[in-house]
Amino acid sequence: MRAKDAVGRHGEDVAAAHVEARGWRVLDRNWRCREGEVDLVALDGDELVVVEVKTRRSTSYGYPAEAVTRTKLARVRRLAALWLAAHDVRAASVRVDVVAVLLPRSGAAVVEHLVGVV
């Protein structure tokens, strides 16, 4: 596994633990289809949340959340619709969140959770 892939995988593990600690139920991780990949899908009560996870080891190239562009969010919304079409899940509503994970050289990961990103 490449170092970049390992960092991303660790960030997704941190993000999954973060949402589970909030009482969410993770339904899917790294769901793939022809159009792309969804990092996390979870239930926050009766609301389905599609989570885009961005992980960085430093802020040299900006904070992780800054890497989530309008184009990326549009793609995540399309993927959310495809995920719902492929799964028998009933939800009162659907939203897209971003979980940004910063992995410093020492100490715990720093998690920034942006709720309902448009």
pLDDT score at 118: 78
Average pLDDT over every residue of 71-93: 96
CATH code for the domain of 35: 3.40.1350.10
DSSP 116: S
Q: Percent of the chain beyond pLDDT 90? A: 88
pTM for this prediction: 0.93
As for how many domains the chain has, the answer is 1
Q: What is the pLDDT of residues 39-55, one digit of tens each?
A: 999 999 999 999 999 99
Comparing CA positions, the residue from 83, 72, 75 lying closest to residue 48 is 83
Task: Give the model's confidence band at 8: pLDDT under 50 very low, under 70 low, under 90 confident, else very high.
Answer: confident
Task: Give the model's confidence band at 1: pLDDT under 50 very low, under 70 low, under 90 confident, else very high.
Answer: low
* Domain span holding position 34: 3-114
Q: What is the pLDDT of residues 30-41, one digit of tens each?
A: 999 999 999 999
Average pLDDT over every residue of 80-90: 95
